Structure 1
């Protein structure tokens, strides 16, 4: 009873409101135009509905649907069946194309129909009012909200054409279960686009928005079906549907075929979200503020960045990535099978070093989306894997030495720092190629000192290792003794410089486009030369011989080129292998999240075998 009294009250208030506006017009005119006041208080130039965004792999396959709170895919009116448009007009707002946002006769009709059915079948609101409610207002059943709805509807009618309003309405209304708009509903309930739905299916979906809870097909299928039949009967009564077709439609079987959101390859997708923030920050000039020592400036920049990224992801963009889905699947399998069921973890990075594209990334053995991603968030000591970048390449670059040059492999001790070779043995004079392939420590320290600490780090600084600082500028860094270390992604990135001497950070994101295909964001990285051709040739020879006769013999397989370097930290807490083939640079790390000894698996060289599996697949 209270509901009907409320409708009658609204019915009586509407003409009062109109009369009030009319009588006040002259007073408003003396001060400001009423339209000016409305435009100032209720600016409606563009109505932007949050939409799903999509992330795609290199082959064009959707790997992640991105939505913040609900699913929506926007459709143009010309792509929506006319039958559905007519159905909503007949059942919700028969004078849609005649009124200016409010229909007094519609309110009267709603009162009559609701009283006859003893339930709320129609709310009396026009399609424009419903749009206003869905976009700007709450769904509270209060008089204040209803009056606000009338004003917003009037303003929308002033600013938008009828086809525009209908298009927005069919994309805005809620179809229960997180589906907003007809296309999201079609995809969710029937796993096909709106254009492929039958009239019976369209009418079934049209039954939901009137009361998304009561007509939720997953909970109240029969109630939804009965309402579908009532809607179709209304179309018959209005002459928009023939009796024979009506009989056929209500007898049509409605079979739901629910779809689940696409959310694949969590390791890679999680990283892409982080890279997207970096891309937007770089493109929008926020980098400097985000790195400011001033906390207030930094927090303001972070808040601004979050708003920009959220707005972008709500606009229906497509994030095109370099992901190789086949390689990603193989990478996950290799990490899981070679490590086994235990508390040992692994991370893997594969970069196409000709294009500088990040084609595969594994953040953990059984990685869960948005959890700690070891591939780019895990910073660990690199062990001997740092030697090519900090010791050998800088030495060759500075001296142009021959790789057959002799260097002492004897014991080393300076200022109480007395590192040993891994075997514990002391060697005599050895060639650079032997010292490198066998990963002797003392020769590496000696050539590091000959080059000079600062000169050596000048080369390393070119790779932008995030946590390498002045505190690391000491002798022990020559064999991996860093304060924090580096991530697998950073180290693998740096090794790509041994392809041709140039460095450019690898990117997962190729471009971000809007719904029309316009490029909104794209990396504008420039390659920089680190090593000259002579140094590159020598380093590639050293890396290659390590796989032939050195510590990474298990990595070798017949192909155009194979080369790499192992790395093991003190007490075997970390195991690394980073290497190159003709087209790819791949890095593998194995360890525990809480560092501890890995001696039990060391002889099995899982890091090297994982690398080999992936490199063979990639090539």
Structure 2
């Protein structure tokens, strides 16, 4: 009987040992170094290096390496959470035994006896369930972690993952959230104050129960002193120090510009990582959708890794543009946007999405495609005409009635003209002259110049004479049109304007940067003629209300049929700006056309 009982017991022990070995193997196979790459906040900066947007969703975390974590904070956590941290192998048998006796006495799970490593395991892999099964799993994971990482690594992970209430994770984000400064700038007392929160974030929430936080802070300082982490003088100084919270809110300003930057970031990543090429070559809607989702996930991954996005944004100009549009468009149902580009740096310094714009709403600045009206003439007709014919600006051109293949355009108000000079035809925006000029050089030749501006929605059906007056299938966006006009400011050379200067990682390593190459669209001689003509539009023609004293000023108006859209795009010595006014569901703006809000908006923006 004894031999039989012993045999069964031995078999049971072997099975238990095999089961333990199996669990250990599963734990080893379940732990990866990639699990310890944590989300971190990303930031968007203006041209002066000021943060204009903290980018994070649910977890406010600023990941910092071990050497940037204040030593006194680590001492505070070790003194109160895990005194034997540097000597154990992931679990503390004395602590576990003590917890078992207390739990037996209380007839429940009252204490866990968890080490810092076990707490890290719980944060990464396990739930907050209180059970012995979970505790055993926790111990196994902790033991394996201690073999995989150094003690310093584990402290780094722990300090960056613990929860400080109010959506804040990690010591650096907590320091900036509660004290508006880096953790390296905190005093011993302030560090102990923060160290009090993770033990029970709800109970020790300093925004609601600061007295609880202060009480635990005092206890933490005492434990640090007992462990000889503080001298008597440091201890007394820390206990007597008054704690003053200076909480900060998430920085998220200028929704118009930030929304655009998120869009441009996706385009930049797509361009550099090859997604855009694959999307363009996709043959089915399903294939394209899959690629678009992959690109979006890649950008999301980058933003969670803690990148820094530097832009050419100028807050003063953005604010001025927003206020100017509101001033000249008080009507609730009429929208207006403006895009401002520094045509020397090729940077978008301001862009609006519409009045009272909310982040990630439909952005009229780059997502609204509207008929450009006569504002397309300098790009599609006049500059190409000069380039192809080498004509002088005073050449005579017929503005008489014109018909071809049943297409018979009319001048504004049905007016009829005879022969006029080319500069007169542009400054007064004679339609019949423009259509006749495009017909002379051919539609295909005119579009060969327009193609260089990368308009996203020009299609084969647009290659017809009505395009000379802005008659396009889908139209253009205010951003696209403004970008194209920067060519006049750059001696006939086009270079795509961007908002993003560069994207770097947390260590300052360059990740992404636009590699746009300038394209010669027309010659310097042609460009000089166009600058002359655009000036006359403002000083003598349809754009007179936009005029003011400047070393250079020029531009072109655009009005679509039935006054659905009002445009003005022009430039001064430093900036090119485009303004669009209209309604989201196109309706006539005849009631406000006489006061020319698009011209007044442009003038007031550029005068500043």
Question: Under a length normalisation based on structure 1, what TM-score does the superposition of the two structures give?
Answer: 0.90
Question: Residues 272-287 of structure 1 correspond to what in structure 2 (within 5 A)?
Answer: 272-287=261-276
Residue 437 of structure 1 and its aligned partner are, at CA, apart by: 0.2
Partner of 2:591: 600
| Aligned 8 A contact 1:289 1:297 in 2 | no
Quick one: structure 1 residues 531 and 237, their matched pair in 2 at CA, closer, same or farther if it must change by over 3 Å?
same
Residue 225 of structure 1 and its aligned partner are, at CA, apart by: 2.6
Q: Which digits, 9 at most, give the CA deviation of each residue in 1:274-313, with x for residues without a partner?
A: 1001111111111122222322322222222122111211
The correspondence for 1:583, drawn from 571, 574, 582, is 574
Quick one: structure 1 residues 508 and 145, their matched pair in 2 at CA, closer, same or farther if it must change by over 3 Å?
farther
The correspondence for 1:439, drawn from 429, 444, 457, is 429
- What is the DSSP-based 3-state SS (H/G/I as helix, E as strand, rest coil) of the residue aligned with 2:397? strand
Residue 349 of structure 1 and its aligned partner are, at CA, apart by: 0.7
Question: Residues 352-363 of structure 1 correspond to what in structure 2 (within 5 A)?
Answer: 352-363=342-353
Residue 596 of structure 1 and its aligned partner are, at CA, apart by: 1.1
Q: Distance in 2 between matches of 1:219 and 1:110?
A: 30
| Aligned 8 A contact 1:44 1:155 in 2 | no
| Aligned 8 A contact 1:468 1:484 in 2 | yes
| Aligned 8 A contact 1:189 1:259 in 2 | yes
Quick one: structure 1 residues 122 and 146, their matched pair in 2 at CA, closer, same or farther if it must change by over 3 Å?
closer
Cα RMSD after superposing both structures:
2.6
| Aligned 8 A contact 1:52 1:66 in 2 | yes
Quick one: structure 1 residues 572 and 237, their matched pair in 2 at CA, closer, same or farther if it must change by over 3 Å?
same
Gap regions ≥5 residues in structure 2: 1-12
Q: Distance in 1 between matches of 2:302 and 2:386?
A: 47
Q: Distance in 1 between matches of 2:123 and 2:295?
A: 27
Question: Residues 380-391 of structure 1 correspond to what in structure 2 (within 5 A)?
Answer: 380-391=370-381
The correspondence for 1:317, drawn from 287, 290, 307, is 307
Residue 47 of structure 1 and its aligned partner are, at CA, apart by: 1.9
| Aligned 8 A contact 1:207 1:215 in 2 | yes
Give the stretch that moved more between structures: 417-426 or 52-61.
417-426
| Aligned 8 A contact 1:45 1:159 in 2 | no
Partner of 1:226: 215
Quick one: structure 1 residues 600 and 45, their matched pair in 2 at CA, closer, same or farther if it must change by over 3 Å?
closer
Q: Distance in 1 between matches of 2:62 and 2:14?
A: 41
- What is the DSSP-based 3-state SS (H/G/I as helix, E as strand, rest coil) of the residue aligned with 1:407? strand
Residue 152 of structure 1 and its aligned partner are, at CA, apart by: 2.3
Residue 498 (structure 2) pairs with residue 507 (structure 1):
yes
Partner of 1:533: 524
Residue 114 of structure 1 and its aligned partner are, at CA, apart by: 8.5
- What is the DSSP-based 3-state SS (H/G/I as helix, E as strand, rest coil) of the residue aligned with 2:366? helix
| Aligned 8 A contact 1:92 1:122 in 2 | no
| Aligned 8 A contact 2:24 2:140 in 1 | no
Give the stretch that moved more between structures: 435-444 or 548-557.
548-557
| Aligned 8 A contact 1:44 1:156 in 2 | no
Residue 211 of structure 1 and its aligned partner are, at CA, apart by: 1.9
| Aligned 8 A contact 1:122 1:210 in 2 | no
Residue 253 of structure 1 and its aligned partner are, at CA, apart by: 3.4
Quick one: structure 1 residues 140 and 449, their matched pair in 2 at CA, closer, same or farther if it must change by over 3 Å?
farther
- What is the DSSP-based 3-state SS (H/G/I as helix, E as strand, rest coil) of the residue aligned with 1:141? coil
Partner of 1:155: 144
Q: Distance in 2 between matches of 1:299 and 1:90?
A: 53
Partner of 1:302: 292
Gap regions ≥5 residues in structure 1: 1-18, 29-33
Partner of 2:382: 392
- What is the DSSP-based 3-state SS (H/G/I as helix, E as strand, rest coil) of the residue aligned with 2:401? coil
Question: Residues 448-463 of structure 1 correspond to what in structure 2 (within 5 A)?
Answer: 448-463=438-453
Partner of 2:416: 426
Residue 164 (structure 2) pairs with residue 181 (structure 1):
no
Quick one: structure 1 residues 97 and 570, their matched pair in 2 at CA, closer, same or farther if it must change by over 3 Å?
same
- What is the DSSP-based 3-state SS (H/G/I as helix, E as strand, rest coil) of the residue aligned with 2:33? coil
Residue 248 of structure 1 and its aligned partner are, at CA, apart by: 5.7
Quick one: structure 1 residues 556 and 209, their matched pair in 2 at CA, closer, same or farther if it must change by over 3 Å?
same
Q: Distance in 1 between matches of 2:361 and 2:70?
A: 43
Quick one: structure 1 residues 110 and 181, their matched pair in 2 at CA, closer, same or farther if it must change by over 3 Å?
farther
Q: Which digits, 9 at most, give the CA deviation of each residue in 1:426-460, with x for residues without a partner?
A: 01111110010001111011101111111111211
Q: Distance in 2 between matches of 1:354 and 1:578?
A: 17
Quick one: structure 1 residues 504 and 36, their matched pair in 2 at CA, closer, same or farther if it must change by over 3 Å?
farther
Residue 117 (structure 2) pairs with residue 128 (structure 1):
yes
| Aligned 8 A contact 2:27 2:141 in 1 | no
Q: Distance in 2 between matches of 1:145 and 1:446?
A: 82
Partner of 1:198: 187
Q: Distance in 2 between matches of 1:393 and 1:419?
A: 21
Question: Residues 314-353 of structure 1 correspond to what in structure 2 (within 5 A)?
Answer: 314-353=304-343
Quick one: structure 1 residues 395 and 110, their matched pair in 2 at CA, closer, same or farther if it must change by over 3 Å?
same
Quick one: structure 1 residues 21 and 118, their matched pair in 2 at CA, closer, same or farther if it must change by over 3 Å?
closer
Question: Residues 30-69 of structure 1 correspond to what in structure 2 (within 5 A)?
Answer: 39-44=28-33, 47-69=36-58
Q: Distance in 2 between matches of 1:235 and 1:569?
A: 75
Q: Distance in 2 between matches of 1:138 and 1:441?
A: 72
Q: Distance in 2 between matches of 1:389 and 1:147?
A: 73
Q: Distance in 1 between matches of 2:162 and 2:15?
A: 30
Partner of 2:10: none
Give the stretch that moved more between structures: 431-440 or 194-203.
194-203
The correspondence for 2:473, drawn from 461, 477, 483, is 483
| Aligned 8 A contact 2:109 2:131 in 1 | no
Quick one: structure 1 residues 249 and 565, their matched pair in 2 at CA, closer, same or farther if it must change by over 3 Å?
same
Q: Distance in 2 between matches of 1:131 and 1:234?
A: 22
Q: Distance in 2 between matches of 1:25 and 1:139?
A: 24
Q: Which digits, 9 at most, give the CA deviation of each residue in 1:33-77, with x for residues without a partner?
A: x99876544222672111011100011111000113211112233
Q: Distance in 2 between matches of 1:392 and 1:277?
A: 35
Residue 79 of structure 1 and its aligned partner are, at CA, apart by: 2.6
Residue 551 (structure 2) pairs with residue 560 (structure 1):
yes
Partner of 1:407: 397
Q: Distance in 2 between matches of 1:343 and 1:602?
A: 15
